[in-house]
């Protein structure tokens, strides 16, 4: 069985017919109105790009679709976490329904590859993890979902947390999470002993939230790089947020980027409006894998987020003050292929700000048709005429699941 996407414009190029079989692109041909296939998806001159990869989302922390509420969180990770802990059970609908609806909305808008956190602590146990796991199973034919066992409250502040993390890894989490080894747990050595020890035991990847500022963030990063090198975990470690690693000095920036490239440590961003981030063009030139995510979405941490990665792509371009078409398009490449490479280090990866991979013969048929005059225009306009393809089959059209 062959599927053809007819008269689409790959990465904004000329109209083409894209042939798909067995979940992969087999040919990209100049458009021929007489060409036939078993199944035809009408491109109608729309842009064809890889589908989105959201590599930093908290599906278990969402109020998408619920009434807007006043923000009640206080500054700081611990205070925000306690606000979430106080409120998450009292939402208007059960957690599993919220998680399922949020993931479904993400897929409908073009995301088919997801890495989601699942908070695990002594308050919620595995309840939030199980809600994300249920949503992953519910949408197993519409998206690929990877789950991070995430110690939002730290690993050392509350007795019993590491044992719960291990239970989640046994139950289906494939990534071991960590968070702020110095400022939250205040014992970076023991924190990283647990993170990397469990990751090694269960052959899991590692994803560490790093909000720590300046020199302290660099200190924690150096400890993480040291563990990565010592354990031979190249290609299996991601730093999320890492807002201020570029704020210390030019020499430190250059050194960190070089070590990330050497150890194949990837990065995930939520496009924050902050100064001091590592420059995206330098990361791309060095071949550092870099992905994008929506973080929490209209939850007890923040009123932002709307399940639309095209909107978050616009935010990435805006917060980086990008104006050139190439750099705006690079943001879309980050949100699609960049994120896919964070999930799978063996997959295609970006080789610079002008690289536009993911639509060649042999590429996975994880695709999005979207209206737009050019790729940069699509990011600016964030059109709604979308068709989403997962493993070669249409899973959503016009912002609705099919």
The model's pTM is 0.97
| Secondary structure (H, E, C), 296-319 | EECCCCCCCCCCCHHHHHHHHHHH
pLDDT tens for 222-269 read 999 999 999 999 999 999 999 999 999 999 999 999 999 999 999 999
133-145 per-position pLDDT tens digit:
999 999 999 999 9
- 182-201: pLDDT as tens digits: 999 999 999 999 999 999 99
Give 218-222 contacts, CB < 8 A, sequence gap 24+.
218/245, 218/248, 218/252, 218/256, 219/182, 219/188, 220/180, 220/181, 220/182, 220/188, 221/245, 221/256
* % the chain with pLDDT above 70: 100
Q: Give the N- to C-terminal CA distance of the chain in Å, as an integer.
A: 20
> Do 270 and 302 meet the contact criterion of CB atoms below 8 Å apart?
no
Give yes or no for a contact between 210 and 192, defined as CB atoms under 8 angstroms apart.
no
Can you spell out the DSSP letters for 46-86? -EEEEPEEEEEEEEEEE-TTSPP----PPSSHHHHHHHHHH
Task: Give the per-residue pLDDT at 389.
Answer: 98
Cα–Cα distance for residue pair 34/194, rounded to 1 Å: 60
Top-tier CATH class for 3-50+357-401: mainly beta
Beta carbons within 10 angstroms of residue 267's beta carbon: 26
At residue 41, φ and ψ (nearest 5 deg) are -110, 120
Q: What pLDDT, on a 0 to 100 scale, did the predictor assign at position 378?
A: 98
Residue reference for tokens 């009123």: 303
3-state secondary structure of 190: helix
Instruction: Locate the domains of the chain by residue range.
Output: 3-50+357-401, 52-343
Closest listed residue to residue 291, CA positions, set 238, 254, 248: 238
Structure tokens at 164: 């719960």
Paired tokens of 110? 């073009």
Please report the pLDDT score of residue 326 as a whole number. 98
Query: pLDDT digits over 11-65, tens only?
Result: 999 999 999 999 999 999 999 999 999 999 999 999 999 999 999 999 999 999 9
Please give the average per-residue pLDDT across 393-398, as a whole number: 98
Mean confidence (pLDDT) of the chain? 97
- Return the closest-CA partner of residue 211 out of 183, 233, 190: 183
Distance CA 61, CA 99 (A): 8
**How many Å is the Cα radius of gyration of the chain?**
21
The domain covering 52-343 belongs, at the CATH homologous superfamily level, to Metal-dependent hydrolases (3.20.20.140)
């Amino acid at each position: 069985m062959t599927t053809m996407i007819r008269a689409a414009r790959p990465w904004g190029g000329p109209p083409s017919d894209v042939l798909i079989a067995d979940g992969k692109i087999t040919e990209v041909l100049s458009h021929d109105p007489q060409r036939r296939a078993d199944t035809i998806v009408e491109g109608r001159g729309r842009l064809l790009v890889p589908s989105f990869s959201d590599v930093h989302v908290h599906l278990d922390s969402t109020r998408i679709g619920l009434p807007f509420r006043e923000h009640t969180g206080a500054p700081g990770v611990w205070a925000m976490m306690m606000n979430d802990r106080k409120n998450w059970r009292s939402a208007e609908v059960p957690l599993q329904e919220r998680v399922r609806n949020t993931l479904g909305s993400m897929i409908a808008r073009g995301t088919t590859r997801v890495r989601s956190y699942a908070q695990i602590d002594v308050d919620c146990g595995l309840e939030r993890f199980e809600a994300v796991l249920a949503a992953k199973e519910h949408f197993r034919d519409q998206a690929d979902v990877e789950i991070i066992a995430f110690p939002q409250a730290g690993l050392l502040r509350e007795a019993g947390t590491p044992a719960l993390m291990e239970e989640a890894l046994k139950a289906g989490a494939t990534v071991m999470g960590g968070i702020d080894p110095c400022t939250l747990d205040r014992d970076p050595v023991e924190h990283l002993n647990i993170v990397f020890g469990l990751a090694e035991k269960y052959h899991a990847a590692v994803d560490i939230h790093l909000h720590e500022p300046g020199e302290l963030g660099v200190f924690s990063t150096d400890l993480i790089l040291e563990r990565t090198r010592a354990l031979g975990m190249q290609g299996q470690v991601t730093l999320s947020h890492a807002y201020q690693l570029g704020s210390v000095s030019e020499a430190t920036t250059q050194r960190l980027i070089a070590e990330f490239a050497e150890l194949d440590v990837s990065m995930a961003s939520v496009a924050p409006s902050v100064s001091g981030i590592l420059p995206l063009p330098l990361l791309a030139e060095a071949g550092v894998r870099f992905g994008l995510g929506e973080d929490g979405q209209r939850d007890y941490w923040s009123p932002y987020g709307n399940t639309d990665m095209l909107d978050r792509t616009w935010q990435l371009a805006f917060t980086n003050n990008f104006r050139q078409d190439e750099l705006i398009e690079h943001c879309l490449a980050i949100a699609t292929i960049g994120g896919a490479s964070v999930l799978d280090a063996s997959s295609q990866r970006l080789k610079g700000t002008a690289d536009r991979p993911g639509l060649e013969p042999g590429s996975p048929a994880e695709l999005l048709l979207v209206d737009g005059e050019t790729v940069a225009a699509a990011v600016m306009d964030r059109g709604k005429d979308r068709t989403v393809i997962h493993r070669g089959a249409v899973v959503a059209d016009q912002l609705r699941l099919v």
